[in-house]
Structure 1
């Protein structure tokens, strides 16, 4: 069972939810964690249990980052909107930097999320 973090910028939340519905069976085999708003939307769309953290701008990104540093997260699926400015951009960059630094599987869009989920046991 992998520990999977789910995050999506506002304009990507619908896309992440649709992706989660498509992969509901496989996701049900894993332990899901998510920032508050994203996680609530994924739970509503899929019916899967998701441990909710704070909303991203209120510290949820940092909570996921701490989980990565502590070895408590195996995969990060973070649907990023590269066309919209984010008020908490520093936190976003820190989260992706930590995933890279600690060799956590990282997906930033649907095709990479498909590949990462297929690779997870």
Structure 2
């Protein structure tokens, strides 16, 4: 039986793109056949250096985080790696917060640093069945 394919969301702030590239490169052999959706410059970097196919969305300041959030809300993206610069405030910070909120609301793993990204990628690539723990409407109403 073939392993289920998953869709991962990938975003990295400019100061974190090198870390993202190192991380994805180390998992590239396992990511073949899975679906990757990324903000524009992050996705272009991954494509160029790994050869992995990446669906590109807008850059972060142009709504890319919101686009990925839409994929999370619709059940398409099953895990997100968002390497963000915690020391630099971004003009599109509300979009970042919205993405984090939608990941929490839909119980989607969200990694915001390299350590948690390695954990999330390991789980997503080796135990994808654990990503299908979507909260029910009833559990959402209990909040």
Fold agreement, TM-score > 0.5: yes
Residue matched to 2:108: 104
Residue matched to 2:43: 39
> Which structure carries more relative contact order (alpha carbon 8 Å, separation 6+)?
1
Q: State the TM-score, normalizing by the size of structure 1.
A: 0.96
Distance 2:121 2:104 in 1: 17
Superposition RMSD in Å: 0.9
How many positions carry a matched residue from both structures? 121
Distance 2:41 2:91 in 1: 16
Q: State the TM-score, normalizing by the size of structure 2.
A: 0.81
Distance 1:9 1:27 in 2: 21
Distance 1:12 1:114 in 2: 15
TM alignment of 1:1-121, pairs within 5 A: 1-120=5-124, 121=128
Distance 1:118 1:18 in 2: 15
- Give the secondary-structure state (helix, strand or coil) at the position aligned to 1:23: helix
1:80-105 Cα offsets, whole Å, 9 max, x none, are: 11011111001011101111111011
Gaps of 5+ in 2: 129-143
If you compute each CA radius of gyration, which structure gives the higher value, 1 or 2?
2
Gaps of 5+ in 1: none
Structure 1 consecutive aligned stretches of length 4 or more whose deviation exceeds 3 Å: none
